Amino acid sequence: MTNPSTANSAEHSTFAAGDSAKTTAGAPEASTAQASGQGNTAIADVVVQKISGIAAREVPGVYELGGGAARAFGAVKGRIPGASASAGQGVSVEVGQKQAAVDLQMLVEYGVSIPDLAQDVRNNVIDAVEQMTGLEVVEVNINVNDVHIPSEDGDGDDQGTGDRVQ
């Protein structure tokens, strides 16, 4: 008997041991199948990507995920009514049959300890992915691309420029 959820090979694929697929925001997705005595469970790469993104954003000190271009696109998309930034923005994953690896691009708040923040993010992502998917997370690579300085938001007054010269 054919399972209708796995009959379409264009939507779902199974990887042999050692094979993997890499997914980034906007890239085609693949899935990982886990077999049990009662059937298969397929977990799409985008699921691991979104779980990782949400878990990383939960950690205080993470301002935003994504590189410069991804953040700019997300900012524009966020201004469109009904549109929202992707939970997987700034996250790429490589998922195998039993393991996953995660790469994060981050913008951090000024003043936080980056090594401590990176470890907290790493722990939160590993816990979330392993708990929700059952996959072993073998690595979480974190690239800090920038530091968010609140005065750069443009919503504060220009401290340091107006009072300097009279």
Q: What is the pLDDT of residues 124-159, one digit of tens each?
A: 999 999 999 999 999 999 999 999 998 877 654 444
Taking only the tens place, the pLDDT of each residue in 52-88 is 999 999 999 999 999 765 445 555 545 556 555 577 8
Domains in the chain and their CATH numbers? Answer: 44-149 (3.30.70.1350)
Model confidence at 166, in pLDDT bands (50, 70, 90)?
low
pLDDT at 36: 74
Query: Residue 2 CB: number of other CB atoms within 10 A?
Result: 6
For residue 41, name the pLDDT band (cuts at 50, 70, 90). confident
Out of 3-7, 58-62, 118-122, 156-160, pick the least confident.
3-7
The per-residue pLDDT for range 99-116, each reduced to its tens digit, is 999 999 999 999 999 999
Instruction: Give the pLDDT confidence score for residue 56 in this predicted structure.
Output: 97
What is the pLDDT at residue 82? 56
Length of the chain: 166
Model confidence pLDDT, tens digit, residues 15-30: 333 444 444 444 445 6
CA distance 152 to 166: 23
Residue 141 contacts by C-beta under 8 Å, 6 or more apart in sequence? 101, 102, 103, 104
**Beta-carbon contacts of residue 100 (< 8 Å; ≥ 6 apart):** 48, 93, 94, 129, 133, 135, 136, 137, 138
pTM: 0.67
Residue 44 has a pLDDT of 92
